[in-house]
Amino acid sequence: MTWKPNRTEKRTLFDQIRAWIVEQIEDGHWSNGMRLPSQRKLAEQFGVNRSTIIQVLDELKAEDVIESRQGSGVYVKPRGWDFVLRQQTLDWHQRIKQSAYKVNAQTIQLINEYEALPTTVRLGTGELSPELIPQTALLKSFSELTLTNQELGYSEPLGSLHLRNTLTSYLERRGIVTKPNNILIVSGAVQALQLLSLGLLETGTSITTEAASYIHSIPSIPSVSFQASNKKTMYYTIPTLSNPTGKILTLEERKRLVERCSVNHMPVVEDDVYSELTFDGAPPALKSFDRAGQVLYIGSVSKCISPGIRVGWLVGPESVVRYLADLKMQLDYGTSAISQQLVAQWLNSSYFYEHIYNLRASLKKRADFTEAILQKTVGDIAEWESSKGGFYIWLRIKQPVVTKSLFLALLKQNILINPGYIYKPNDYHYVRVSYAYCTLDELKRGLIMLANEVKKRFI
């Protein structure tokens, strides 16, 4: 803190100090929730009267940038985009407001932000823990990668043919018989969802899905639960290890779902990214029962190898797939050739299968450990289904106390939860607990703190 206002500058001391403080906050030097130095210290540092400091702080309080907390000083206020954007000379803020694009909800922005801090205990993160990522094998396989000069160029619209050929065999594991021309390589499953939303939804219509669904957490993809029959929608589901509920549809339920959608000429989007992670297997994919070309199937390696690879796939009728490929070419000209080659190499070798075998066992241990702790800490005030695989336990608290205030209270203690209302709007009973990311020690500590905060709010 060696900066001082410049008395020879045109701007007033007030303006300079205000701008400097805003800069500290904008640049992240003063983080959300940080306590500001005292008025006396600031006055000393800047070489100005305390009254100037008081004036600046009042202004910043009025602007919602900082806040007083009784008896304990002045703090940087947790903030959304609104504040940050107001500061621009050019009116970027106005432009952003006028665009059709919807930003992530503040809860999700905070999740993205706090996930980047090493001190955060990430109790809800839907991602493999660093210790579960097969780093050694991945680094080894990098050195074995071969790509021709052609493959290092722009890829063809559908993506690497080598990878698509590999996937036609790989997908037989899920009961899916398909051809390379029915497969579009994407940069992760979420890109596939965006392609469907941008390319196949009429403006003003939404994707239909379950009450609790991952897709509700992506604000730029319009989605609703259980809407009245509308021929212009499509049905999104994760039939195997649903995010967030962890459910696996039975064979009967799968057949019925495909049949019902077939009768209604309703496309089905099957998100199958967790299917490698079942503890006791799962029925074949919905896509395997698809005779009318109406199931669009999505897979990815993000949940089972490493999300940093950013490779997924979409399987559907050739014409639809080619149309979406055209859209993808406009969005990003294809997926990283290196990542595509790496995935083909893994799926064609023992790397993948050995890793998956070990990963399932590790996840099962983590799930058991977590359920034992849940039993001890919230056994009396919550309920859940025993995990069948994947990452999540969809914890239902018996009273609706999982509010934003609970989320923020835990955040102050460096505990980051994924509250259920992100996935199931307007329902405050749930927490999506992930046993995949934290260390066991963090899981224990985090769940105890979660239990404490929850119990405080019980009536």
Cα 83 from Cα 65, distance rounded (Å): 7
What token pair was written down for 110? 């905070």
C-alpha 432: how far from chain center: 12
Instruction: Please report how close the Cβ of residue 381 comes to a second copy at its closest, in angstroms.
Output: 32
Amino acid at position 400, single letter: P
Query: 432 and 420 in contact (C-beta within 8 Å)?
Result: yes
Q: Which is nearer to a second copy, 101 or 226 (CB)?
A: 101
**Residue closer to a second copy, measured from CB, 279 or 323:** 323
Q: How far is the CB of 104 from a second copy (least distance, A)?
A: 5
- Between 73 and 219, CB nearer to a second copy: 219
Pairing of strands 415-416, 121-122: parallel
Tokens 């809860």 label which residue? Answer: 107
Q: Which is nearer to a second copy, 12 or 112 (CB)?
A: 112
Q: How far is the CB of 249 from a second copy (least distance, A)?
A: 21
Strands 418-419 and 223-225: unpaired
Smallest gap, in angstroms, from Cβ of residue 291 to a second copy? Answer: 9
Residue 135 burial (CB < 10 Å; 0-12/13-18/19+)?
exposed
- Minimal distance in Å, beta carbon 302 to a second copy? 8
CB 73 to a second copy: min, Å? 27
Q: Which of 189, 121, 214, 188 is nearest to 435 (CA)?
A: 121
Continuous segment of H or E residues that includes residue 35: none
CA atoms of 328 and 79, how far apart (whole Å): 34
Nearer of residues 99 and 426 to a second copy, judged by Cβ: 99
Closer of 34 and 96 to a second copy (Cβ): 96
User: Which helix (H) or strand (E) covers residue 416, if one does?
Assistant: strand 415-416
Beta strands per DSSP E along 230-281: 235-237, 268-271
Exposure string for 154-192, b = 16+ CB within 10 A, e = fewer: ebebbbbbbbbebbbebbeebebebebebbbbbbbbbbb
Cα–Cα distance measured from residue 181 to residue 421, given in angstroms and rounded to the nearest whole number? 39
CB closer to a second copy, 55 vs 439: 439
Dmax (CA) for the chain in angstroms is 79
Query: Which residue, 334, 427, 410, is CA-closest to 124?
Result: 410
Minimum CB–partner distance for residue 348 and a second copy (Å): 17
Q: With respect to a second copy, which residue has the nearer C-beta, 343 or 367? A: 343
CB 192 → a second copy: shortest distance, Å?
10
Smallest separation (angstroms) from a second copy to the CB of 331: 5
Instruction: For a second copy, give the closer residue by CB, 143 or 229.
Output: 143
